[in-house]
A and B are shown apart, each in its own frame.
Chain A
Amino acid sequence: MNAGRSSNCRDRGVSADHERKFGAIVTLLTHCFVISVLAVAMLVLGESTAYAKVDYSRPVNAAPKQQDIGKTYQVPPVQRVPPRSLWIYGLDVLLLAVGLVVAALVAHRWRRRWMAVAISIFSIAYFGFYRQGCVCPVGSVQNVTASFVDSSLAVPLVVLLFFLLPLIAALFVGRVFCGGLCPLGAIQDIVVLRPVQLPPAVDHWGGKFKYVYLVLAIWFAAQPAATRDFVICRFDPFIGFFRLNGTAWLLSIGAAFLLVGTVVGRPYCRFLCPYGGLLAIVARFSFWPVRITPDEELDCGLCAESCPFGAVKNLRADRMTCLACTRCFAHCPRQQYQWGDIELIEVEQLVEAHREKSLATSKPAASTPV
Chain B
Amino acid sequence: MSDTNRREFLQRTGQAACAVALGSTAIVLGRRACAGDSWAIAPNKCINIRLGVTGADKVCEACATSCVLPLSAVRAVNEHSLCGRCCICPAYFDVRSSMGPDGLPTKKVCPRDAIKRTVIGDVDANDPLNNFYEYTIDEELCNGCGRCVMECKDPAGLGSIRLEVRYDRCLHCNQCTIATHCPEDAYTRVGPQPRPAIALEGEAG
Contacts and interface: CB of A to CB of B under 8 A. Distances in A.
Contact of A86 (B22, B35, B81): B35
A54 interface: yes
Contacts, number: 206
B198 A75 contact: no
Contact of B82 (A52, A58, A154, A230): A58
A338 B79 CA distance: 68
Nearest to B122: A70
A240 B82 CA distance: 40
Interface residues of A, number: 74
A199 B19 CA distance: 34
A370 interface: no
Contact of A58 (B37, B40, B159): B159
A79 B200 contact: no
B26 A164 contact: yes
B132 A64 contact: yes
Q: Which of A49, A51, A58 has the most CB of B within 10 A?
A: A58
B120 A73 contact: yes
A183 to B, nearest CB: 14
Interface string A55-86: 11111111110001111110111111111101
A341 interface: no
Contact of A63 (B25, B51, B84, B172): B84
30 contacts: A42-B35, A46-B192, A49-B193, A51-B40, A51-B190, A55-B198, A56-B43, A58-B201, A59-B51, A60-B158, A62-B84, A69-B120, A70-B132, A73-B120, A76-B80, A79-B137, A84-B167, A135-B174, A139-B174, A140-B174, A144-B25, A154-B32, A156-B35, A160-B26, A164-B26, A167-B18, A171-B22, A233-B173, A245-B70, A285-B11
Leading 9 A-B pairs by shortest Cβ distance = A70-B121, A48-B36, A156-B37, A285-B14, A50-B38, A69-B121, A46-B35, A83-B167, A50-B190
Interface of A: 42-43, 45-52, 54-64, 68-73, 75-84, 86, 131-132, 134-135, 139-140, 142-144, 146-148, 151, 153-160, 163-164, 167-168, 171, 228, 230, 233, 243, 245, 281-282, 284-285, 287
Interface of B: 11, 14-15, 17-19, 22, 25-26, 28-30, 32-38, 40, 42-43, 51, 68-70, 77-85, 120-122, 132, 134, 136-137, 139, 154, 158-160, 162, 164, 166-175, 180, 189-195, 197-201, 205
